[in-house]
Amino acid sequence: MNLILAIAYILTILVYVWTAYNIPILIMGIRHFHQSNSKNRKNKATPSINLPTISIVVPLKDEEKVAERLLNTLTRLNYPPEKKEIILVEDGSSDRTPEICKDYATRYPETIKFFHRDISTGKPSAINFGFKQAKGEIIAVFDADNVPEPDTLLNATKYFADPSIAAVQGITCTINADENMLTKIISYEEIVWLKTFLQGKDALKLFVSLAGSCQFIRRDVIEKVGLWNENCLAEDLEMSLRITEKGYGIKIAPELISWQEATSNLSQLIRQRLRWYRGYMEVAVKYGRFLKRFERRTFDAEVTMMGPYVLSFFFLSYIMSIYLSLFPIQDPILNVMAEGTLVFAIATILTIGVALIYVTKPVKIKNVIWLPFIYAYWNLQSILTTTAFLQMILRLPRRWIKTEKTGRHTKNVT
C-alpha cells in the first residue's frame, strides 16, 4: 500500500509541476499573438535585391491527390524565379505522382528539379537526398499536402537578417477543418500549439521546435549540425535539438502561413500519433543530457520532450483514481493533492478556451463549446502516449507510417 501511495504522490507532483510550468507560457503566447498580429499588419513583405537563394525540398510518395495543388502553389510564390528552386524527391510511388512531377519539371525546367527513387526509406531520407541536390542558401521543407500563402518565402527571409537565427518555423493551418469533428479539433490543436504556445516560448526566449513542414533552415547550419536523422521517428524535433545544442536560435513566424490537410480518419490519427509520440519519447531519452546544462533553452527543450510522458502520467493517474475508488486509502494529503489536480486541469482547460476565443479571426466566444470535445481528445492522447511508451519499453519494431492524404478541403486557399 505504501508503494501505491508513493506512486500516486509522484504522479500527482509531476502533473502539478508540468502544468504550472506551461500555463504561463500559453498565457504569454496569447498576449504575444495580438502584438505580433498588429506588427505584421504594419510590416508587409517587400521584395529586395539582396534576397537569399532558397531551395524548396518536397518529399513525395503516392501523393497524386495533392501533388498538383502543391506544385501550382509553389510555382506561383512571390519570389524571384532566379533565386528559387523546387526539388521534388519522389519515393517509389505506386500512383500517378511521378507523372505529375515530371510534367511540372518539363513545364518549369529552370525552377523544378525532379528525382525518382525506386525504394522509399522514409521522409528524413528523402529530405537528405533533396538537400544534397540543393544549391540554396536557405533550405525550405514542405509536405506534399501544403498550400503556402504567396508571400511565405519573402516573409521568411526577413528573419535571416539576424545571423543568430538558424531556422524559422511557419504556421500550418488546417485546410479541411470543417470536414468533420476530428479535423475541427485538430485545427484547434494546431492553433493553440503554433499560434499561442510556441509564440509564448519564442517571446520568453525558450525552446522552439520545428514542425516538419513550412520550415526554413540555413544551409551552412545544416552542414554544421548534420543532416536529418533517418533512424528517428521525430526527425524535426531531433534536428531542432541539434540546432539548439549548438547555440543557434529557432524562431516562430506567425505571418508565414501554409495550409495543410489534417487526417479525418480516427485509425489514421492513432497510427500517426503513435509514431510521433514514440519518436518524442526516444529523442527525450537521447537528449537527457540537456538537463545537465542550466540554460534556459536547453532546460525548456527537455521539459518539452517530457510532454508525452506527462500525458501518459495523466492516463496512469486515471487508472490510479479507479483503483483508489475501489480500494479507498484514508490519506488526507492524497485527497488534497487529488483536488489540486482537478484545479490544475480546470485552469488548463480555461486557458485553452481563452486561446481558442482570441486566436481565430474574427474573435469567436462560441469556440469554447469545443472544450469538452478537446478534453476528450486530450484523454485519447494520454492513452496513445501510454501505448507508445509501452512500444518503446518492449522494443517493438519502429516503422515510418505515411499519413494518407485525400486532397479534400473546406477552405479555398488556392
Closest CA to 14 of 280, 309, 261: 309
Would you state the pLDDT for residue 336?
62
Does residue 246 register a pLDDT over 60? yes
| CA 266/CA 249 separation, integer angstroms | 36
Would you state the pLDDT for residue 351?
82
Predicted confidence (pLDDT) per residue in 42-59, tens digit: 455 555 568 999 999 999
Predicted confidence (pLDDT) per residue in 182-193, tens digit: 999 999 898 888
Does residue 116 register a pLDDT over 90? yes
Average pLDDT score over the chain: 88
| CA 220/CA 292 separation, integer angstroms | 28
- Given CATH 3.90.550.10, say whether it is the number of domain 53-136: yes
Burial class (CB in 10 A: 0-12, 13-18, 19+), 97: buried
Does residue 367 register a pLDDT over 90? no
Does residue 279 register a pLDDT over 60? yes
With beta carbons less than 8 A apart as the criterion, state whether 56 and 89 touch.
no
User: Which residues have CB under 8 Å from 59's CB, separation 6+?
Assistant: 89, 91, 123, 126, 127, 130, 143, 144
Would you state the pLDDT for residue 271?
93
The CB density around residue 100, as the number of other CB atoms within 10 Å, is: 22
For residues 375 and 328, which has the higher predicted lDDT (pLDDT)?
375
Would you state the pLDDT for residue 43?
52
Does residue 337 register a pLDDT over 80? no
Whether pTM exceeds 0.95: no
Would you state the pLDDT for residue 334?
62
With beta carbons less than 8 A apart as the criterion, state whether 339 and 14 touch.
no
Mean pLDDT of all residues in 105-133: 94
Would you state the pLDDT for residue 16?
78
Would you state the pLDDT for residue 335?
63
Does residue 111 register a pLDDT over 90? yes
Mean pLDDT of all residues in 104-115: 96
pLDDT band for 41, please (50, 70, 90 cuts): very low
| CA 24/CA 2 separation, integer angstroms | 34
Q: Where do the structural domains in the chain lie, given as residue ranges?
A: 2-29+292-393, 53-136
